[in-house]
Structure 1
Amino acid sequence: MDKYNESILLKIGILINTIFLVVIMCIYTGVKFKFDNIFESKKSKNQDNLNIIQDGNNVFTNDIKTVNAEIEGNVECNLPGGVQKKNCSIQKDIFHKKIVIAFPKGMSGYEQDNIVNTYAAVKNIDINISDVMVKVEISLNSIRDCNVEFSDGKIRLDFFNPINVDMPVIVVDAGHGGDDVGAIERGTYEKNINLTVCERLKEILDNDDKILVYYTREDDTYPSVEERIDFVNELMPDLFISIHSNWYEHSDISGTSVLYNVKDSSEFGSEWLSNIMCQEVIKTCNTNDRGVVDGHDIHIVRNSKVPVALIEMGFMSNEEDFSLLTGNAGQIKLANGIYNGIIRSLTELGKY
């Protein structure tokens, strides 16, 4: 090979290396690329509950509150060189007992030795690697939450039991979901109304640092009623709020009602909570008052071990209620009414 050809090959090599470095820097700064999935699994040599799996570059994110709580243990995740906090995302899926961390892979790859687990409640850790991303999935044996700390090139998850926090805890349930669409009116599914009002409520609750809130679903999925109430009864929150929309064959029937657990006869029990929620939604939304109703036929109501209120916000079959339930302004009103009921209830409990 003559010197001219050697020079050409050298320049091509430099160009390829430059392009590779530019791609890596773009990844670090947030530029998104789509890659075909690669799948390869191997068991960790260091920990029985640690796997490495190659897959696509799915990234999850959600808002994270820091909670003053007794820390039971932690998991540390060392980040590749150059990866900053802004490049990372966290999903805390407390309902499914799972935490997901995602970040760019970097040039040197990622190994299981970068994960340090000192928490006995960790069931399993999977490291999912694509061409450009690392996704660490931490599965837990029981319901636990965590504070997240970014420092010194690592992410640390400090786990705690929500039962032991020094703030009120509530669960919000968007009724139905997935294949269970609920009531249908004019092509509109109840499940979507319930979820949208729940999302508007979450926007309000996310700005309230005095309450710790968990959700049974935040997308169009269907946790079974057994899964929902099992979650509530394991977590034992101060309040359990389930959001629904009503329907009746006669369109002149309208208004708000709340179902309660007749087996709960305590002073600050389900009937007490349901009365407050009914009053506050009606006051905020000016709906017809249909009062509180025996909810014994509803699985999540009769089996709840904590104060529960299943809110039937209004009738999809009624013209005025339908506008409230489906319009953006009405959904914001409904969310505010539910929030007002939550705050009033927690205040009367002396917890807010």
Structure 2
Amino acid sequence: MNRKSLLCFGLAAMMLVSNIHPASAISAGTKFKVQYTHNKKTYTKKALNARYNNTIIKTNMPGFLDGSTSMYSAYWIFGRCKSLGTSYKYTSKTKKITIKKGSKTVVMTLDSKKATLNGKSFTLPAAPRKVRYVAKKKNYIMVPGQTVAGKLGISYTWNNRLLSGVMKVSSSSSSSSNSSSPSTPTTGQVVAPKTKITAGSSNYSVRIKKPSGLSSAAVTSEDDYWNKRLILNINGNYKTHFSSSSNRNIKDSLSYSVSYTGGKTKIYLTTSSIKGFSITQDSSYIYVKYAAPKTMFSRVIVVDAGHGGSDSGAVGNGLYEKNMTLSIVLKMKYYFDRNSNYKVYYTRLSDWYPGIKERYTFSNNIHPDRFVSVHINSFKKKSANGTETLYNPKGKNSSSPYSISCKNFASSVHKKVLAATKFTDRKLTQRIPGSGAGVGVLSYSNTAATLGEVGFITNSSDAAFMKNNYTKIGKAFYDGILASF
């Protein structure tokens, strides 16, 4: 999927959650005129809309591209689409745009790329703008769709042929492998990986009393590790019950809070650092045990999708590296989600940019058995092609009982990816820190680490294959990691 496609589908997909808007939207692809109020310039734009299954979602203001960033009406999407569970507020005096969903709050300023998520700064790909829809003679505040969607943890897909976002809601409306943001890397009910330590009546950090008649099926969990917390989602309004201190017993230090939104009671268990969690239930209690990830889980992996957000990475043949690496990682996640032997942490699962230091620090704080970063190569000569895998020969081995050197880990991944692509074998490449060829995520990783350069985005043949085979490539990385154990 090219950059425009990926950036377009953020807010468009969110529009799919509700089709109650009474106003008509022009068809996707139709040209219309807008005037930016900050510079008084008028532009002709191509409309973007959204579909729920085969039904177009209607709004008063269509979406459009600002450069390569999709822009959507903050009011019509975040303020009017109640099924989204979001709220929108604009303060004209300060030009602040505030959008909330559950515990997440995104604050933006009109005409500025600087924004915050729960107080943490990040950069938008395009500034929010007040835009006049010329034909209707009305102004609308437009925000970057993809980024805002990702920050709020809303899932989405994109249909490039229809210029529309398309959402298919699963039985758990928040469950999707592509829903995540830095604040919510995974949502919904997740298959728990096999743990070394299991919560129970005689071994727990937190014990929470259940209200009478609450079934175990009504309780799901969400490991919100970027926010260092576990979220328990309970169907129904039990806020009063779970807020009562008499209904919980906390043995280990953490912050406990409760909210009710969108038909669910949410219990937030926030810790001082990233933890691994085990959750079990009986008819009377929910038991939660937490500790360092490597204490809780037998096999721990960190997966990094290269680039993201404002950093597009390599560009070629109508493709952007950041979109390709994310697509591959999401396919890897599909397989890992179905294998309970591994606990996997992802540096990003949506279009945002964690800094290089943020990535390796995140991994080192988890102390995983493996770290793998997915990238796409490029070169000024379009004839350059092939699969290459990088490693740091001075890098650390992973810890026992799954000890392996960086070179051997790189070799394991390289063999599987090369077999999937059938590209030219560019073999393993050393990247030595301090040599001018070092790679930050490899130089500073505290475990066996490798970086896979799948193929060349600047080579038309490599690019075409990668674009059409994300599942095959994602499965190859998955197989390579498993083979290393």
* TM-score, normalised relative to structure 1: 0.74
Q: Which has the higher strand share?
A: 2
1:210 and 2:210 equivalent?
no
On the 8 A contact 1:145/1:161 being kept in 2, the answer is: yes
1:335 and 2:474 equivalent?
yes
On the 8 A contact 1:170/1:237 being kept in 2, the answer is: yes
Alignment: residue pair count: 299
Larger radius of gyration: 1
Q: Percent identity?
A: 24
Q: Which has the higher helix share?
A: 1
On the 8 A contact 2:239/2:265 being kept in 1, the answer is: no
What is the CA distance between 1:110 and its match in structure 2?
Answer: 4.7
User: Which residues in structure 2 correspond to 1:74-113 (within 5 Å)?
Assistant: 74-80=205-211, 83-106=214-237, 109-110=240-241, 112-113=243-244
Structure 1 residues 117 and 221 mapped into 2: Cα distance closer, same or farther (>3 Å)? farther
Q: 2:405 aligns with which of 269, 274, 295?
A: 269
- AA aligned to 1:67 is K
What is the CA distance between 1:289 and its match in structure 2?
Answer: 0.9
Structure 1, residues 186-241: CA drift from partner, whole Å, max 9, x if none? 44321121111111112222222332322222222322222221122122212111
What is the CA distance between 1:315 and its match in structure 2?
Answer: 0.9
Higher relative contact order (CA 8 A, sep 6+): 1
- AA aligned to 1:236 is H
What is the CA distance between 1:74 and its match in structure 2?
Answer: 2.2
What is the CA distance between 1:80 and its match in structure 2?
Answer: 5.0
Give the Cα separation in 2 of the matches to 1:54 and 1:306: 33
Partner of 1:307 in structure 2? 448
Which deviates further from its counterpart, 150-159 or 199-208? 150-159
On the 8 A contact 2:193/2:297 being kept in 1, the answer is: no
SS at match of 2:461: helix
Structure 1 residues 153 and 35 mapped into 2: Cα distance closer, same or farther (>3 Å)? farther
- AA aligned to 1:294 is Q
What is the CA distance between 1:156 and its match in structure 2?
Answer: 2.6
On the 8 A contact 1:170/1:240 being kept in 2, the answer is: yes
Give the Cα separation in 2 of the matches to 1:99 and 1:107: 18
SS at match of 1:226: helix
* TM-score, normalised relative to structure 2: 0.55
SS at match of 2:207: strand
Structure 1, residues 58-86: CA drift from partner, whole Å, max 9, x if none? 95414131533236742234455554444
1:287 and 2:426 equivalent?
no
- AA aligned to 1:94 is Y
What is the CA distance between 1:310 and its match in structure 2?
Answer: 0.6
Partner of 2:467 in structure 1? 326
SS at match of 1:103: strand
1:61 and 2:188 equivalent?
yes
Structure 2: gaps of 5 or more residues: 1-81, 90-101, 106-151, 154-173, 175-186, 398-402
SS at match of 1:100: strand
Partner of 2:300 in structure 1? 169
Structure 1 residues 278 and 111 mapped into 2: Cα distance closer, same or farther (>3 Å)? closer
User: Which residues in structure 2 correspond to 1:124-273 (within 5 Å)?
Assistant: 124-130=255-261, 132-152=263-283, 154-165=285-296, 167-264=298-395, 268-273=404-409
On the 8 A contact 2:205/2:252 being kept in 1, the answer is: no
On the 8 A contact 2:278/2:296 being kept in 1, the answer is: no
What is the CA distance between 1:106 and its match in structure 2?
Answer: 2.8
Q: 2:248 aligns with which of 116, 121, 128?
A: 116
Give the Cα separation in 2 of the matches to 1:85 and 1:131: 19
On the 8 A contact 1:239/1:306 being kept in 2, the answer is: yes
Q: Supply the RMSD in Å over aligned alpha carbons.
A: 3.2
